[in-house]
Structure 1
Amino acid sequence: MSQLTIIANIFVKAEHLEAVKPEILKLIEPTRSEAGCINYDLHQNNENPAHFVFYENWQSRELWRNHIDSPHIASYRAAVEGKIDNVTISEMSQIA
């Protein structure tokens, strides 16, 4: 498989937005320095500030899986436990 694109939608419980947003932002720097990370871009919905989207590109699925198993992702998960409504992760391949 060639490059892998990830679209991750994170829906934060509104009452926890101020606590979760800094935790999400902490992911940027260490992830961008990981092997295989091409880009790791965070977006926040203009109409629903509790909705975040990561647009990511990785050199391979294996390198993305290493990211998922990284210590900073584990720390993030512990910090936001119970504060997230829903997360959807889509693994995508560019076709055109």
Structure 2
Amino acid sequence: MNEQFTSTAVLKAKEGKRTALKEALLELINPTRSEPGCLYYILFEDKNHEGTFYMHEAFRDKAAFDFHIETVHFKNFAVQMDELMSEPIQLIELVKIL
């Protein structure tokens, strides 16, 4: 059985790049939500640490997530990461307990 793939990606903006990172992340939302394997894709910003974003995401399975990271819209975002982010994406994989 293929298990649902759920994760939270932590994305931290470089100094002065908060708005640009937020806009780049917003551009990912609609095309990602349209992917056949996407269950949800929700962007948050840390209320107490401006410029730290969390993308809470769930895909039908790991294959659907792997498809996501190979899409044109994700690759377009990926080429901007070094310019916009102070550190690499931290991907926290989650397992639903209840």
Q: Same fold (TM over 0.5)?
A: yes
Which stretch of structure 1 is more off in the superposition, 80-89 or 28-37?
Answer: 80-89
Which residue of the partner structure matches residue 90 of structure 2? Answer: 88
Partner of 1:9: 10
Give deviations 1:3-24, integer Å, cap 9, x for gaps. Answer: 1111100011121112221111
Structure 2: distance between partners of 1:33 and 1:4: 17
Matches within 5 A, 1:42-81: 42-81=43-82
Match of 2:25 in 1: 24
2-structure distance, mates of 1:46, 1:62: 32
Cross-structure match for 1:39: 40
Cα distance between partner residues in 1 of 2:96 and 2:81: 31
Q: What is the TM-score of this pair, normalised by structure 2?
A: 0.89
For 1:41, give the aligned amino acid.
Answer: I
Q: Distance in 2 between matches of 1:70 and 1:82?
A: 20
Percent of counterpart pairs with the same letter? 26
Q: Distance in 1 between matches of 2:22 and 2:47?
A: 14
**Which runs of no fewer than 5 residues in structure 1 stay unpaired?**
none
Structure 2 counterpart SS, 1:85:
coil
CA distance, structure 2, for counterparts of residue 55 and residue 65 of structure 1: 16
- After TM superposition, the runs of 4+ consecutive aligned structure 1 residues lying more than 3 A away are none
Which structure has the highest strand share of the two? 1
Structure 1 stretch 58-67 or stretch 72-81: which is displaced more? 72-81
SS in 2 for 1:35: coil
1:7 counterpart SS class? strand
Which ranges in structure 2 are unaligned for 5 or more consecutive residues? none
| RMSD value, Cα | 1.2
TM-score (norm 1): 0.91
